[in-house]
Amino acid sequence: MSKKQPSPGYIILYAGAVAAVFTAAIVALQVSTAGIVERNQRLLTERAVVDIFRLADVSTQSDAEIARLFETRVAGSYAAVPDENAPDPRRRPVNITDPQTGRNIPLLVAYKQDLPADAPPPDPLAAENVVGYAFPLEGIGFWASIRGWMAVTPDAQTVLGVAFLQHQETPGLGGRITEPEFREQFQGIRLADPGRDGRYIYIDKNPVESDADPRKGRHVNAITGATGTSQAVSQFVNENIAAFRRAMAAAQARRPAGEEQ
């Protein structure tokens, strides 16, 4: 005597019930960990910002110490949707605009002294108060979008540091853009004027062999085996630098006479 086979309706209902249980479990897990994920992302960003401004040796700082340094020494917002009316005036956006493209560029501004929580920060364009500025680095990598920050000196002439925080590049290849060996090459690069081809920074595999090479003082060794990522980073980093410098020059030009940086 053969076994009675489940009807198609029963199979569909059973599969639907199982799917509903697993979906509910996944949603519950996502909801329960959302706060942890957000907190970790915030700490990652704040640690990177403290590092590229050289406010401290981040390898020796606890999460609490990093958060305190960011809170008290850095103004501006790194949020995707910055709050113009944030209760803490230090977390309100600081923006400049590229006159060529109309692009709004949010800045993070590091100050030499702790900022009070109950008053707007000092003039962000007043060099005597400022450690440096950080502006977003955004562009398309070899696989997908790459996002990070570049910090520069108050005169916007020299790179203090670079951090790449979001990417989907290949681990062990393009993903090495987050490693110190790659990032530290940017420190000290001068941005006074672009090279003859309009680039501020050159990322390639060819060593600089003479003082006549336009890449001298602007060269970053490309990542071995990740030519596509290196070329993509070179392109969007230079585009972002050019936009920042145009925006900063326009912002300085609008300042009243006698308040030049």
Give 53-120 as a 3 state SS string.
Answer: CCCCCHHHCCHHHHHHHHHHHEECCCCCCCCCCCCCHHHCCEEEECCCCCCEEEEEEEECCCCCCCCC
Per-residue pLDDT at 257: 63
Residue with the bigger pLDDT between 2 and 88: it is: 88
Residue 46 lies in a domain: yes
Residue 43 lies in a domain: yes
- Mean pLDDT over each residue of the chain, to the nearest integer: 88
Residue with the bigger pLDDT between 71 and 212: it is: 71
Residue 193 lies in a domain: yes
Q: 3-state class of 151 per DSSP?
A: strand
Per-residue pLDDT at 5: 67
pLDDT at 259 over 70: no
What domain count does the chain have?
1
User: Does an H or E element contain 251, and which?
Assistant: helix 227-253
95-99, 165-169, 194-198, range with the lowest pLDDT? 194-198
* Model pLDDT for residues 116-142, shown as the tens digit of each residue: 999 889 888 887 889 999 999 999 999
Strand blocks (E) in the chain: 74-75, 94-97, 104-111, 130-140, 145-152, 159-166, 202-204, 219-221
pLDDT at 261 over 60: no
pTM of the model: 0.83
pLDDT band for position 2 (50/70/90)?
A: low
Domain of residue 43, residue span: 30-253
Residue with the bigger pLDDT between 98 and 30: it is: 98
Residue with the bigger pLDDT between 185 and 259: it is: 185
Residue 164 lies in a domain: yes
pLDDT at 167 over 70: yes
pLDDT at 36 over 70: no
Q: Is 237 exposed, middle or buried (0-12, 13-18, 19+ CB in 10 A)?
A: buried
Residue 65 lies in a domain: yes
Residue 5 lies in a domain: no
pLDDT at 27 over 70: no
Q: 3-state class of 229 per DSSP?
A: helix
Per-residue pLDDT at 13: 75
Residue 244 lies in a domain: yes
Task: Report residue 125 as tokens.
Answer: 């364009």
In degrees rounded to 5, what are phi and psi of residue 255?
-70, 145
Per-residue pLDDT at 177: 96
User: Does an H or E element contain 188, and which?
Assistant: none
pLDDT band for position 155 (50/70/90)?
A: very high
- Look at strands 219-221 and 145-152 and give their pairing: unpaired
Residue with the bigger pLDDT between 12 and 191: it is: 191
Q: Is 187 exposed, middle or buried (0-12, 13-18, 19+ CB in 10 A)?
A: middle
Residue 8 lies in a domain: no
Q: In 3D, which of 102, 105, 103 has the Cα closest to residue 93?
A: 105
